[in-house]
Each structure stands twice: as C-alpha cells, then as structure tokens.
A and B are shown apart, each in its own frame.
Chain A
C-alpha cells in the first residue's frame, strides 16, 4: 500500500470508527470498528526470572533461560509509544503473549502491524484465526501467491482488515505466518483474540494462558515453573474466564485443581485436551478460596515447567 493511499484510508477509517463509536454509545448493540496498533519488537526474554523450580528446588542460570525473542507489542496510534499488552487484571506480566484483543461479534478490526525486528531483521506477519477476512489479510506466506501482508520486512507495516463474523464467539490464536514463522513461534510471536457474543456477559476476571514449548522448557505464557508462570488472582463470587490455547507441535491437557466446569453438552470436566493452535474458553462462578495449581497434565510437560498457581481470596 503506498503512503498516500494508506493515509487516505486511515482518515476514512478514523471517521468511520468515530461515527461507529458515537453510535455504539447510544445503542450498545451496534457493531464497532476497532483499531489496534501492534509491532513485532525485539526483547530479551527470561523464561525463569526467579531462577528456580519452586517445587523441586532445582535452580537454573540465566544462561539457560534467557534468549533473544521477537514479540508482539501493543502501541499507541502510529506506533508512537509502547503500551502494556494487557491490563494487570488480565496478565501479570507483559510481552508474551502479544496484546489480548477484545471484540464483540459483528465488530470490525483493523490491526496496524509494523515490523520493528531490528536485531534478527526477519520478516514477520500476523495471521488471525476465528475471524473473516480477504486473502490480503491472511498474513500467510505462499510464494507466488501471497502479498506483502505475509512478508512484512523490517521497517515496513501492513494493516489487516478483519471481521468478527457470526461464528466467531470464543478465543482464537493469532501468530506470525511469515517465512520466519517456525523460528518466531518458538520465541513467542503469538497472541489471542477474545470475542464475546453481543449478549454475553463480560467476565470479572479473564486469564490468558498459552501452552507452548520453548527451548528446553514447557511454558505457560513463555514462563516455566510456579512463580514464573502467571500467578492468577480472583475473589469468591467472581465470574472467571480462562482463555486457553496451545502453540507448537504438542498436545496439552489443561487442568485446574479444586474446580470443574461444564462442556457445551453440560458434562462436568476438570481437564481438557488441546492440540496445536486449538483454543477454548472455560468459565465458572468462583466459589473455592485457596491457592490452587493449574497445569498441563502431560507429566513430562509439568516437570519441564508447564504449571502455575491460582489464588482465590474470600
């Protein structure tokens, strides 16, 4: 997209977004156009900041746990200023996963993506599951077929135009699908869309948990072992929602201690399997105070760090 055409489109969409926002204020059922500014940025990522497995007492030196990653980061308009990827109430640490993007069914989404990978200088892209779009917003590299959306070079940018269609309610992955995808995915270049039905209630607490192998470890949100993985908090009475996703080439079983939820068919469950790029949400009304474990129940994955704690207060 040339700069002039891009600016004209941005102006037009800005006006559209404002119009829709005013309309949405009056009648909440109206669809909105949401703009999200994201960049792929380099980050020195530490999988185990406390340097230990808090359960076995095993220790790890930073030389084993820090690696140069490229991650999605939320920015203000025009990529002027970096922002937190999610409020502290959603994730307690930042950068992996990328920004949680909230939509309502029917919303349009414009993701303005810039490649700021100045260290490895790889191409990157964003490819979204769960939403509708034209091939020019697919972000998936196919030589001879795909366009610049799938191969955004360092310093360049692209706007992905997406729609949360009628079948989009749920949580969905987005991730790099450029020529550097396989390397980038192991380094955490992924995030989640969280799309609510127009009449669905907003949860009081939403926990994003992404199960992915990284190097020698099995991580949740890029961190391994209790204390490093997200420490999640809620209060009795809260409506809890877990957004769960797997990235990589392995299957995981999501398990939370002391709790059960129901499947769509109404069957109680406390462990659910998910494979690569699968995602689901589970919810419940919290009624079990205490400190609980949540983890992948594939035992080799637990032993390599795929485990965390969840604290419920009265």
Chain B
C-alpha cells in the first residue's frame, strides 16, 4: 500500500524553539498591525502634549505618570484583549494547540509582545515628555519607571484577561474593553484631580488607575517613595493577582 516510509521519529521540540517561533509570528503580527498600535499610543501622547502648561504646576512626574497610565490601560484593554478575542474566535489558538506547543507558551508569547509594547510606550512617553515639556528624570528614575510600568501594565493585562475570560464574543469584548478604557480615562482625568468630589477622588486613588499612577510617579522620583506608595504597590500586585485568577480560571480557548 505504501511505497516509501520516510516517517520521522516523534520529536518534542525544545520549548525555546517553540517560544521563538511563536514570538517571531506574534511580533510580525504586531508590526503588520502598526496602525492599531499608533492608535493605542495616540491618547497618552496627546494628553502629555496638551498638559504642557500643567507640568510647571504639577510637576513632570505627574504628567508622565498620568500619560503612561493611559498608555498601559490601552495596551492591556485594547491591544491584548482584542487580539486574544479575535484569534480565539478565528480558531487560531486551536490550530496552535493541536501542535506540540504547551498552552502556556502560546500565552507567554502574547504577554511578551505586550511587555515589549509597554517598554515601547514608556520610551515614547519619555521622548515626547522631554521633547515637548522638557521633562527629565534621573537615570535611576528612568530605570525604576520601566520596572513600575511593567508592574502597572500587568494589572491591565490581567484586567483584559478578565474581559476575555468572561466574554466570548469578540464584538462584545471590543465594546466592553473600550467602555472600560474610556471609564478609566474619564475617572482618571476628573476623579484623580478631585473634580468629582473628595470621595470619588479617594476611590480613584485606590482604584487600579490610581495605584498604578502612584507607583509610576514615585518610580520616576525614587526619593519620594513613601509608605503610601508601598501600599499602592501592594494594592497593584493584589489587583493583578485577583484579576489574573478570575481571567485565567474563566478563559476558554474557543468560542464554541
């Protein structure tokens, strides 16, 4: 029945090889979607430029941390969430899962791409902050901000995971993530500045928006780190943990 039996012996590829192939594909996909990436960058950059006058009054770290927080929210809620919802709906994950790639490598590759995005937006905000508002930080401030940006970005990635965990339809995921994103923007803009009353201001300060903004601002001037900042850091880690557990526990690899 069969003429030629050149069947290979079963080989389990190295995890690094699998992860490398996935990362290359995910970064290529991100690069080809650069118009969407620009949209994610647009809001924080516009806010930073338009707050030029506030920099003198509130300080550079205030403007940078607010702007960066919006960028992190956009990455987690719009970039990550929508790409996961689309690929799940198209069955792309199922195709990858029938290959000998452990499930965690598929997700890890996606998260690596988002971490790169976080580093990219942090750099972009530093550049725009310097270029337009002449904001400079100490070398330690720059280094710590990259770290706090990753910690802060993790909250919104985990929150995005909650959305794709609880909602299957990609259109609903898209509209929900936009709604949550704009809620954060509005609450951050008005609540954070105390324009919605003291109570809302307090709530905003301890919301995932406020705690991330606090650690980012303190990270930019490490000398200003206080007990409140440590509490904000702990709250950020707590939010990340809770969101990640809910998001991962409810996540389904397909929409059927």
B is bound to A: no
| Residues on B facing A (Cβ under 8 Å) | none
